[in-house]
């Protein structure tokens, strides 16, 4: 069902309000290999479908936004974008991690008459005063929130350290929650049926090393007969 919905979204056509030769870009960024781009892609497709827009090109990158813009795919995209092009992102914070960078990117896009749409906040930013004020307010609040979280984290760690508490997980202690937590009975059943660990890993959506480590550390091995 989900595949069918996405297929229909991809066939969405551009409405009359979008310039004939304009391009619509979907931008997806994650910070680590462990994060998935699938959710962002789906949200952008859903948003485009609602507005009868068709994404012409996808830009994906797995990279920290703290890296220089010129070293990112987004930087190359911005240089290529032209008047009336549209950039769709899930949220403005995907563009950068600092207030100055987000503002600089938005300023450059607005000067080029490029529109920026966000699926989460439902912003439609263009080259006008209200858009610039809204973009600034969002970026400022996001920057303040990140600073506050960082400050609270550092203060909490400093307090624990001053109290003589050991930071981090004690050596040798197992994580209480993992991807396989709560699946011990199922893993034992697989072991009873002599299912290879490589197959178990595929069924449970983890790597073979992960399932092997979990079985060994949780002592789930099938007793020798």
Instruction: Write the pLDDT tens digit of every residue in 121-170.
Output: 888 888 777 777 776 776 666 666 666 677 777 777 777 777 777 666 55
Q: Which residues of the chain have pLDDT under 50?
A: 1-17
Contact of 91 with 101, CB cutoff 8 Å:
no
Contact of 160 with 167, CB cutoff 8 Å:
yes
**Residue 191 has what pLDDT?**
87
Closest CA to 92 of 125, 56, 50: 125
How many helices (H) and strands (E) the chain has is answered by: 8, 5
What are the chain's domains? Answer: 2-143 (3.40.50.1390), 184-217 (no CATH)
Name the pTM for this structure: 0.54
């Amino acid at each position: 069902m989900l595949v069918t919905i996405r297929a229909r979204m991809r066939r969405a056509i551009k409405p009359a309000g979008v310039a004939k030769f304009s391009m619509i870009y979907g931008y997806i960024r994650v910070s680590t290999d462990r994060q998935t781009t699938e959710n962002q892609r789906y949200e952008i497709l859903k948003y485009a479908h609602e507005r009868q827009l068709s994404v012409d090109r996808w830009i994906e990158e797995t990279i920290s936004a703290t890296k220089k813009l010129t070293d990112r795919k987004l930087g190359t995209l911005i240089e290529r974008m032209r008047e009336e092009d549209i950039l769709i992102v899930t949220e403005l914070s995907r563009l950068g991690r600092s207030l100055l960078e987000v503002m600089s990117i938005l300023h450059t896009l607005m000067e080029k008459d490029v529109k920026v749409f966000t699926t989460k906040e439902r912003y439609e930013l263009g080259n006008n005063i209200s858009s610039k004020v809204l973009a600034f307010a969002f970026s400022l609040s996001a920057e303040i929130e990140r600073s506050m979280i960082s400050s609270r984290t550092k203060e909490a760690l400093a307090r624990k350290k001053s109290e003589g508490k050991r930071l981090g997980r004690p050596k040798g202690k197992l994580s209480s929650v993992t991807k396989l937590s709560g699946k011990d009975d199922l893993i034992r059943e697989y072991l009873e049926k002599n299912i290879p660990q490589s197959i178990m890993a595929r069924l449970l959506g983890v790597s073979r090393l992960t399932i092997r480590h979990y079985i060994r550390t949780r002592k789930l091995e099938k007793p020798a007969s």
